[in-house]
Chains A and B, each alone.
Chain A
Amino acid sequence: MALAIQQLINGLTLGAVYGLIAIGYTMVYGIIGMINFAHGDIYMVSAFIAVTGFTLLASLGVSSVPLALVTVLVLSVLFTSVYGWAVERTAYRPLRGSTRLAPLISAIGMSIFLQNMVQLTQGARVKPIPPMFVGGIDLFTSEGFTVRLAYSQILIVIVTVALMSGFTYLITKTSFGRQQRACEQDRTMTALLGINVDRTISLTFMIGAALAAVAGVMVTVYYGVVDFYIGFVAGIKAFTAAVLGGVGSLPGAMLGGLIIGLIEAFWSAYLSAEYKDVATFSILILVLMFRPSGLLGRPEVEKV
């Protein structure tokens, strides 16, 4: 029982992170109908920016953990959104209007490019951050097992919930949100109403990257280490989460993230930690076979 509750906590934390990354996939798919395979690597870049930031602040003698965290979050969000913008501008926009496959291949190329860039400039070894976020709350002990809620987990859940509500408000209530949804439904018509579609797409990429950046900082805080390859696995898992929730659906991305996180946590605890990725990707295959529109996605109905 205690183990199950511990894994529930761990799973929700992990799921929150996947959910944040999955939103980037789902938003981009919604607006331009492509899967941005470089999105996982954008997340990886943000984690590296976080490591650099934390190390820099530590060497400058900043000892206040909240101050360091807020500074790094802001820096990482800013720089990572610029990455998101640049990727769209250089790798996808020139291919708009060509075949559907072209931007997909370009995305894979961009993913490899980002990985190699970080590997070359930062080295291939695992990078740690100075331990800053240790400790937690011991909830209870039973059967010799202590259920522990780490401070970093509380942080992840609070930040994710806050971010999700802000983001939902942005999409449903603001002028930008309306413009974004209009572009999803009919880009041509949106342009003919005087809306700058290219700018909307750029902003979508930047917001997706910003959310991934928050996820990147959180993961850095949570695990304390990063390497240039984390983007690939996290990206594919977040993509699975997006597909599971229904690609194009924002609540679906969050729900899919949570489910994937929970499955991974419970699978690791009760079956096999080595094969946890097998569980995740089996789900991807099953969803694609039996419910391609996902849990919350609506199947495409062709009107005749």
Chain B
Amino acid sequence: MADNNMVASTLDTTQYIGVIIGNEQYGIDIKYIDNIVKMQRITRVPKAQPYFYGVINIRGEIIPVMSLRVKFGLEPDEFSKKTRILIVKPEQQAPVGFIVDEVREVINLADEDIDKSSNTAEQGSFISGVGKHSKGLISLMNVAAVITEKEAAAN
């Protein structure tokens, strides 16, 4: 863990789970993360949106799983030993699974390290800002947007 982050960790910091999608690193606010599970068998749901690979069973709960790669317009996933499913639980909404290439680490970001006015929005509203930490830049995922935009697309 980077030193400068540790120093600031007590004041106004937010913890993010660093994940790899394609060749980019993304951060997902830890408060949304319910669980991280290994890749498992996904039951395909016919006629679903292409980025929905299907549903999985997490302790008796049926959770739809989406591929962030497909969602972000990247190459379809190649499942490896490092592939993980993040069970994300947005406020007021049912949980959903995100397939990511790899889960790296937990990153502490102080508020001043986050650039919210970023105009690097290549993936549009999926990014809520860009965080700066010792190992470089990290795109902070706007979880609500990933889910709501998807709902709009569904209709």
Q: Do A and B come from one complex?
A: no
Chain A residues at the B interface, C-beta cutoff of 8 Å = none
Chain B residues at the A interface, C-beta cutoff of 8 Å = none
